[in-house]
Each structure stands twice: as structure tokens, then as C-alpha cells.
Homo-oligomer: A and B are copies of this chain.
């Protein structure tokens, strides 16, 4: 069935013949395997060119920063899935990846779009980043759009990953423009939205990546690849020492049932 206009598939990522595999214009076996770390190869795959030194340092740092934070919801979902289907590791990892959505890990990309909008608006404010941040955040707020990347359920003071990423960015010579924008947003938040929320890792990631030329449209992929690494580690532990069903058992200990019951029926759930 013909959907849309394009009928001939094309791609610029990879070509091959029986002897050679070309990825992004380079010979995979001669020039890439053994020459490039995996983080740098991800940059090449995504953008079509090798990272320079600042981009390499910053991208690897962000991937390390966001890969793992314990038994977060997507890890729990993946561990429950593996407990139910232990033969299909790929299914459990996929279930975890499906939790990389707008509310949780998608914030990196949305924060990047916010910073980019402030960057572009700053000229109209004579280069005053705080003024630009005030305007743009106010507009997001007025549209009912959440401001992503600020506040964290555990790390109420600044998320410790923020300073680590900012430090790497500075030491590696990454551009500081979007770090300054991210901090400008942090400063204006109390007056614009009435809450003193501090930078979390999801804002720090675009702040440092945009400064080394990482494409805005590819931001979403960074937390996704990173979490994939964390998920695989959890799946390996789950296969050795399963807790998937223990998690689901604990999760419902306090469960309340709010529906109707037939006469005389006493559920094991609590009733509201």
C-alpha cells in the first residue's frame, strides 16, 4: 500500500559490499573499529562527523550522567517484564525504553528547545539573557506548558550531576552560551512561576551539548541510549537475583479499591 509520496527508500548512514562496510563515509573495519570509543561512534552515527575533543568529552559525560539512577519507574517496568518473560531480554529492555517519554527523560530535548528559543530571543532583549529567559519562560507558562529540567524529587538543591557536567564542559573547552541560558532560567523561575526550582540533569544535558554543536533534533537520543545501558545492567542483575515480582508485590500493599462490590464480597484490597 502506498502511503505518502516517497516510494524509493534512501539513507546516508551505511553502505556495504561483500568486503567492506562503510558507515558515514568511513571504512568501518579499517578506520573505526579499534580507533573510536563507543560514545564517539554514537556521535558519528548521529551527526555524520567525528566529534572534536570538547564534543567527545561532553557527550560521553552526559551519557555517563544519565545512564543510571537506581530503581526508577522504567527500570521497575523492565524488571517486572523480565520476571514475567525471562527468555526475552530484548522485550524487557524495550519495556524500559518505552518509559523514556515526555515526562521523564524527554525533558532533555524539551529543555534544549527552551534554551534555543531563549538564545534566539536574546537579541531582541539587547543580549540580556535574564530578560530573554523571563519573556520566553513566561510565554511557555502562559500556554500552560511545563518548564522542563528544573526541580527534582530527591535532589532538591542542585542535582549533583549538574555541577559535574558544567565542570566537564568548562574543562573541555565547550561553549558556555547555553550553560548561561540554563542558569538564567534558574534565576528567573522564582519570579515567573513562583517556585525556587534548581537545575536538574535534564536541563544540564542540553546546556552542555548545545555548546559543543550537538544537534537540537538529536538530543532526545542521548538519554535513551544512556538508559539502555543502565537497563541492560539491571536485566543482568535481575537474571541473577530476581526482584521483579517483589517490586510488584510491594507496589500494591497499600492499594485501594474504589469500585463497587457485589453484596457480601470482601476484597483483599483496602476499600475507600
Query: Which residues of A does B touch, CB under 8 Å?
Result: 1-4, 6-30, 32-34, 36-42, 45-46, 48, 57, 59-61, 63-65, 67-74, 76-78, 80-81, 83-95, 97-106, 153-157, 160-161, 163-165, 167-168, 171, 215, 217-218, 220-221, 224-226, 228-230, 232-237, 239-262, 265-269, 271-272
The quantity of this chain's copies bound in the complex is: 4
Closest Cβ of chain B to A245, distance in Å, is 4
Identify which of A21, A27, A46, A241 gathers the most chain B CB atoms within 10 Å of its CB. Answer: A21
Q: A2-B245, A3-B73 are in contact. List 9 more A-B contacts (CB 8 A).
A: A1-B71, A8-B255, A15-B261, A19-B155, A25-B260, A28-B161, A34-B164, A86-B103, A89-B220
Q: Is the CB of A29 within 8 A of B160?
A: yes
Q: A237-B11, A255-B10 are in contact. Are A67 and B45 (CB under 8 A)?
A: yes
CA distance A71 to B247 in the complex (A): 12
Would you mind naming 25 contact pairs between A and B with Cβ atoms under 8 Å apart? A1-B153, A1-B248, A2-B245, A3-B73, A3-B153, A4-B245, A8-B254, A15-B70, A15-B265, A15-B271, A16-B70, A19-B157, A21-B160, A28-B164, A33-B64, A37-B39, A37-B60, A38-B59, A70-B269, A73-B84, A74-B84, A77-B95, A91-B94, A91-B101, A250-B250
Shortest C-beta distance, A129 to chain B (Å), equals 25
